[in-house]
Each structure stands twice: as C-alpha cells, then as structure tokens.
Amino acid sequence: MVWRCVIMTEQTKDLTVMGKNLSMLTDFYELTMGNGYFANGYRDTIAYFDMFFRHVPNNGGFGIMAGVQQLVDYLKALTFTEEDIRYLRSTGSFREDFLDYLAHFRFTCDVWAVPEGTPIFPGEAIVTVRGPVIQAQLVETMLLLTINHQSLIATKANRIVRAAQGRAVMEFGSRRAQGPDGAIYGARAAYIGGCCGTACTICDRDYQIPALGTMAHSWIQLFDSEYDAFRAYAEQYPNACTLLVDTYNVLKSGIPNAIKVFNDVVVPRGFRPAGIRIDSGDITYLSRKARKMLDEAGFPDCKITASNSLDEYIIRDMLAQGACVDSFGVGERMITAAPEPVFGGVYKLCGVENADGSVTPKIKVSENVAKITTPCFKEVWRLYDRETGKALADVMTLHEEVIDDTRPYEIFDPDHVWKRKTLTNFRAVRLREKIFEGGRCLAKERSLNELRDYCAAQVDTLWDEVKRFENPHQYYVDLSPELWKVKTRLLEEHTI
C-alpha cells in the first residue's frame, strides 16, 4: 500500500491518475457556483457537506464502503494547472480574481469518512467535508464518483461471496467493465468485498491483488486436438494445471482428455492437477458428473471452477441443487453490479459555520420524503450488543453529543417515532475516522488484505436477517433526540 502511494505521488504531482489530470473532473456548475460564492463574499464561509445514499442496490440490507483511498489520493493532489486556468478563462464564465484563486488553490478542508470495508446503511453520513464552501463544493463530483463506484462493486462482490458459502470467488470482469478505471478500481473494490483475486494483471502489479487465470477456448481451438491443447498447457504449467473442459463436450471429451493429460504429464512430474473449469452448459449437472469422473480417476483433490455470467442468485441456486463447485469466476454481473448498476450516493449541504464557531443547520425539504436531508454537523455511531457482538442499530447525533454506553439508551425510528427500544449492555463506537484536518492528510494507510479481512469481520457483526438477499430485515439508522428536534423544527419552519 505504501509503495503504491509513493508511485502515485510521483506520477500525480498535478493530480494525474491513470495518466490524467483530474482536477477538472468536476461538474461545471461546481465551478460556476464557486465563482458566484467568490463574487458574493462567501470565499471564506465555512460549510458542512454530507455524503449519504438513499437505497441499497438490489434491495439489499446494507452496502459496503469503498473508494476512500482514491478519494484521499485525489484530495492530496488537488490543484489547477496553467492549462486548466487557460481553458476556464476561454469559457468567459469566470471572474479573473476567481481564476487567480484557483491558480493558487490549496485544499484546506477537514474530512471524516467511514473506513473502507465497513457495512453502511441508507441515510447515514458516510463522508462529511467541512471547510471553505468553494472547496467543499468543488470536490463533490470526484467524491461521489469514487465512493459511489467502488461501494457499488464492493457491495455486489460481498453479496456474491456470501452466496458462495465459503468457496473462493474470483473477479473476472475486466473485459466487461465500463472503461479502464472501471476495471481496475472495480477489481480493487471486489477484493475488499471478499473476492480472492482478479483476472486483471495490472491490479496484481499495482495493488497486489492476486492475478488468476488459465486459458480461453481459443487455446483449445488453436491445437489440432483438445488433448494436444491440454498436454501443451500441462507441460508449461504442471504445478498449476487447470484445464478448460467445455470447448467441445464436457463429459465426452473435456473431462476424459483432462484426466488423460493429468496421468500422462502432471502426475509423472510429481504434481497433482490443480483443477478444471466449466464455462457453459448446465454447470450444476455437469459439475456433479465431472466430480464423479475425477474421483473415480483418482483425483478427488482436483478442484472444479465454474464461470459464465454468474451472480449471487445463480450461485445460491446451483449450490442448493448440489453443484460440486469449489470456486467461482464472476465477471460482468459483478464488475457492472447488474442488474442495478447505481449506488446513488448524494452530497448535500447540512450546515454553515458562524463567526463564533456555532453552526447554522441547513435542510433540503421535498415532497419526496426520501429526499429530505438531515441537517447539522453530525457524528455517526454504531451500537453493538456486548454479549453477541452483533450490531443493533446506527445512530446519528449532533457532533458534540456522546452516547454513554454505561447507561440505558433509547433509540427510536425517526419516521415512526412510536417505534422505540431501550438498549442495555451495549457498546457505542464512532463509525467514522477523520482523514483530513486543515487539508493535511491523516488517513491511515491499510493494505487491501487488511481491508478485506476487516470487511469480512464487520459483515459478520450483522444479523443473518439483515444479510438476506430478499426482504432483508431493516437495519435502523436512528437520530438522537436532540438531532431529531432540530430536523423537526426546520421542517416545520420550511413547510408553514
């Protein structure tokens, strides 16, 4: 992780990622609003913005936070080049003093974020930015882009990994991703979500995500016979020989030829066959037959991998029907998060700081209840049962509030306030970390293996009912009484 960050810094002194300067990857209205703030005397006004999401994709019970490291990389290097300023000047949309401000831009905000790999829920502030309003507004697009994309893929990957019930899941989606960034950062997010590796070689080089893969059907077709193709591969990789057996006929030629090559090449060289892969047909049926044939041939340790447009539902059904599959390669439906490829995170103003340090809360009101925001500078807490270790609920409070977990604490549904519960014997944990202070990076660098293990441990704190694929139990994100009072007061003020 440290090595990668050094390389990124050397490559991105004026904010290049993947060889591109991303300071201008922002919605144009962020810049026009910045120009307007500047013109109206708001240059130094301190504002608070929250990122949150409203809906878990696929009607799931929770999401997985991801993309924070890329947000950190972006904010650390945020600046504007002479070329950027020339372009903005050419549009005729900006004051010269605002362009001079951008030319000398330095990020000075405070940022809090939920750590990568953490289960997250609709409505809670997963990122908060506090700082000069021009700066806090400007970073909206990239903040949403990085967190939305990677959280989407990590969430989907985690669902698929859970469906596999402990069997390895490999990310095979590079060729179906939406562009190079989608492939690379998607593989990163999938690894955090629980995948064991990726087909994407650059991700092994840059992120140390194990690169996995064997052969395509073209390898088989190129040789005069399937046996010749298998033999040639086994001679090159006798210690890691996994053969693709569905090019012609799995049971009549693929498995028999694989077994013959295992006996002719792999075993005589002192190795055991690694496995076979089935990429088409009724994989449940074929895997059962293949398992029997391999066992009878003396290869009970030969693993069976399945691929071919898989997702969590297909994998779940295959295993329920007795598929003899040891690992899964999942491509397009993971890397694109099909069938719901949108995470839907938004970024909203929640407060403005006054000269005396107090914060004036801000709210957005809508006839669409889901679009009403929660005002104020907030803290996010997760409450855990001390006996089971399971997460009970999340609570958003005013930032200065502290939940005392030595005393009973009443939680209530902020939309249906008669739904109340008093918790005892629980522990309260702040969910977010401060990753920037005054523009100075405080983020702790964690390896992807650490993040992957952390994600698995945190998902394990959720009740199984929350983890159901269909009709999961609603995990509550409640408001403290003080925060609820402020929100209710603002709603009344703006709707009278």
CB contact at 8 A, 172 and 72: no
Kindly report, residue by residue over 358-389, the tens digit of the pLDDT: 999 999 999 898 899 999 999 999 999 999 99
* Distance between CA atoms of residues 437 and 351, nearest Å: 18
* Distance between CA atoms of residues 49 and 462, nearest Å: 28
Percent with pLDDT over 90 in the chain: 93
CATH assignment, 2-154+341-495: 3.20.140.10
- Cα distances (Å, whole numbers) of residue 340 to 8, 139, 155, 407: 32, 26, 11, 42
| CB within 8 Å of 150: residues ≥ 6 apart | 66, 67, 70, 185, 186, 188, 189, 192
Cis link prior to 339 (omega < 30° from 0)?
yes
CB contact at 8 A, 486 and 376: yes
- State the pairing for strand pair 242-244/275-278: parallel
Residue 15: pLDDT band with limits 50, 70, 90: very low
- Mean pLDDT value across the chain: 94
The confidence score (pLDDT) of residue 445 equals 86
17-31, 176-190, 366-380, 418-432: segment of lowest average pLDDT:
17-31
The confidence score (pLDDT) of residue 495 equals 80
Cα maximum dimension of the chain: 85
Kindly report, residue by residue over 215-260, the tens digit of the pLDDT: 999 999 999 999 999 999 999 999 999 999 999 999 999 999 999 9
Kindly report, residue by residue over 127-164, the tens digit of the pLDDT: 999 999 999 999 999 999 999 999 999 999 999 999 99
SS3 347: strand
- Stated as kind and residue range, the H or E segment containing 175 is none
Q: What does the pLDDT average to over 434-440?
A: 98
* Token representation of residue 380: 């996010």
The confidence score (pLDDT) of residue 496 equals 63
Buried b / exposed e across 384-395, counting CB within 10 Å, b at 16+?
A: bbeeeeebbbbb
Domain map (residue ranges) of the chain: 2-154+341-495, 214-301
| CB within 8 Å of 77: residues ≥ 6 apart | 9, 12, 13, 14, 15
CB contact at 8 A, 380 and 431: yes
CB contact at 8 A, 171 and 197: yes
- Geometric angle at alpha carbon 298, from 295 and 299, rounded to 5°: 65
Output phi, psi for 34, to 5 deg: -60, -40
Which residues partner with 441 through β-bridges? 436
- Stated as kind and residue range, the H or E segment containing 304 is strand 303-306
* Token representation of residue 490: 């603002």
1-10, 71-80, 200-209: segment of lowest average pLDDT:
1-10
Q: Which CATH architecture has domain 214-301?
A: Alpha-Beta Barrel (3.20)
- Gyration radius from the chain CA atoms: 26
Q: Which amino acid is at 264?
A: D
15-24, 266-275, 401-410: segment of lowest average pLDDT:
15-24
Q: What does the pLDDT average to over 102-108?
A: 97
pTM over 0.85: yes
* Distance between CA atoms of residues 107 and 132, nearest Å: 9
